[in-house]
Structure 1
């Protein structure tokens, strides 16, 4: 049984608490958050103790921690946890700074404990099936990947100001997905972004609409499209063109009923919120982490993966600012 301390009791911490407590091979032992009301409520819900992060890290009876705190604390907590001999599952991104993330990896690598980065979309059954079909040679060689990721509405401006920007906060999932599908890192990143959803986002120094093209060393291409506004729901799609065919993963809809009449064909909208869309993926992600720690296998999403995605995010941020292609620092 994996005894787990949860660092962070916010929205995503609450999702993870459900999976930790509900898994037959893990137990939620303690919860920490700077908001003691939030940690107290979550701990009471699952029969865990309220502690500080320092107390959790110092407890030799806790085997692993899940880091769901603000991004600017991730590297510090990864370093402290691995130094204490605890396995770590840390929400994306590793850090807001690529240099800091690389320094964190050096310290974490000095320990022998597993560190996994929380890119949950790899565990979505649709995306995982698409990747497996590619690996099985069902469409030949991958040539052109298209990733669509549109949020139904922007987050609050208070979040935008501390998020690190759309490329580090939102599109970083898609950078990781491109690596997951294409198998390696691009040699060039070209990005364009604007603030057309909400001018206040632009005034805060961010963009809300962006397109990025990734060019790989062998000529393959990936195109990523992000928007903070899709009024019809949470739009998450993949399309992969190969030398022998096409693979695509469509949206998850509110239901599978469609109506066809002389006026046209109508179906349900996509699921509206990311938690509805990706709850199965979060559960599968946690199962993979537990298995890696208890059974001694490799974690499926490494610190290197997290650093690669962050490097692409930094390159895209620079490219969008200058209008020029950028070689990522991977």
Structure 2
């Protein structure tokens, strides 16, 4: 099978990481980049390793699509996602787009309808589905090793907050960070979240509150079988980047993220675990998952479907995030509405 020609739109922080992973992925022969900032895209192209795939730069998205690419990776700003997904679908090429599908669920639904009507092949970048720990948790639960779940606890905490300018446009802590936890809740348990009750606080930079967000939050999620899941998030975890998932079952308990880089320490005398330095950012924590995600996309372009997140499932996770954000504002539990029947996202 000949090496693929992939295209990448957007070479900011995540886009530049994707570019490095793409050129290092077996089966990729050429990568063509496009970005709204000509100087930035040239700088990223020049910095890519010379021993990987060949690299080219397109003047714009139209030129990129016309260059004969076999697949399109979208890492541009969220507002551009719907247009770029449609461009890939209209060109008849598979698309891997960073989460979310669109800035909100209302804007996402027409995209899902367009993809379905055109028979498009689109997947959304929820990289935790490719992390070894999360994959083992799903395998163990599916195999019945944990029994039935009586509690689930998910954590996503950044060591330091991003710029306030980003937070002001992120849609809120639940949509920005916890949406990953909401996705893996559905993916691992095979259940829907039907209700969310959320609380939040601001004890850090007061500017975060002034732009309408919180710096720490908690959501109690009720699954459709009655199981309770607690999702916590913070932008101020000084111990390091902390992402964990705890599945407590009737037969056993499994924890994702409990390794030598866990951003915590034991209070028990004589306990040295964990001994390693904690991860500083999500890019370090999920470096391997991002590489595996690109490899899965290469497989998809070659006709082999894997565990990449379907856009319907991504929007289903966004529905939970929207409900959490609404509960945070109103102070009352909020029911999570299902996707419209023709677009319903099967949990898998």
- Indicate the TM-score class for this superposition, using the shorter chain for normalisation: over 0.9
Match of 1:179 in 2: 186
- Of 108, 133, 146, 2:115 maps to 108
Change in CA separation of 1:71 and 1:269 when aligned onto 2, cut-off 3 Å:
same
Question: How many equivalent pairs are there?
Answer: 327
Contact 2:125 2:309 in 1 (8 A): yes
Change in CA separation of 1:37 and 1:213 when aligned onto 2, cut-off 3 Å:
same
Within 1, Cα distance between the matches of 2:203 and 2:268? Answer: 36
Match of 2:331 in 1: 323
Structure 2 residue 292 is the aligned partner of structure 1 residue 311: no
Structure 1 residue runs without a partner (length 5+): none
Local SS of the residue matching 2:207: helix
Change in CA separation of 1:120 and 1:298 when aligned onto 2, cut-off 3 Å:
closer
Within 2, Cα distance between the matches of 1:182 and 1:221? Answer: 11
Structure 2 residue 79 is the aligned partner of structure 1 residue 77: no
Local SS of the residue matching 1:29: strand
Within 2, Cα distance between the matches of 1:278 and 1:90? Answer: 17
- Of 25, 28, 32, 1:26 maps to 28
Change in CA separation of 1:27 and 1:213 when aligned onto 2, cut-off 3 Å:
farther
- Of 12, 15, 19, 1:13 maps to 15
Q: Can you list the C-alpha shifts for 1:222-246, whole angstroms capped at 9, x where unaligned?
A: 1100000111111111110112121
Match of 2:51 in 1: none
Q: CA deviation at 1:260?
A: 12
Change in CA separation of 1:141 and 1:263 when aligned onto 2, cut-off 3 Å:
closer
Structure 2 residue 303 is the aligned partner of structure 1 residue 295: yes
Instruction: Please report the TM-score for the alignment, with normalisation by the length of structure 1.
Output: 0.93
Change in CA separation of 1:28 and 1:199 when aligned onto 2, cut-off 3 Å:
farther
Structure 2 residue 217 is the aligned partner of structure 1 residue 210: yes
Local SS of the residue matching 1:90: strand
Contact 1:6 1:68 in 2 (8 A): yes
Match of 1:117 in 2: 124
Change in CA separation of 1:237 and 1:3 when aligned onto 2, cut-off 3 Å:
same
Change in CA separation of 1:78 and 1:262 when aligned onto 2, cut-off 3 Å:
closer
Within 2, Cα distance between the matches of 1:308 and 1:282? Answer: 22
Match of 2:342 in 1: none
Within 1, Cα distance between the matches of 2:125 and 2:215? Answer: 23
- Of 56, 66, 70, 2:64 maps to 56
Change in CA separation of 1:24 and 1:208 when aligned onto 2, cut-off 3 Å:
same
Structure 2 residue runs without a partner (length 5+): 49-53, 339-348
Backbone CA RMSD of aligned residues? 2.1
Change in CA separation of 1:36 and 1:129 when aligned onto 2, cut-off 3 Å:
same
Within 2, Cα distance between the matches of 1:107 and 1:197? Answer: 42
Instruction: Please report the TM-score for the alignment, with normalisation by the length of structure 2.
Output: 0.89
Q: CA deviation at 1:54?
A: 1.8
Match of 2:345 in 1: none
Within 1, Cα distance between the matches of 2:242 and 2:266? Answer: 21
Please list every run of at least 4 consecutive aligned residues from structure 1 whose deviation after the TM superposition is greater than 4 angstroms: 258-264
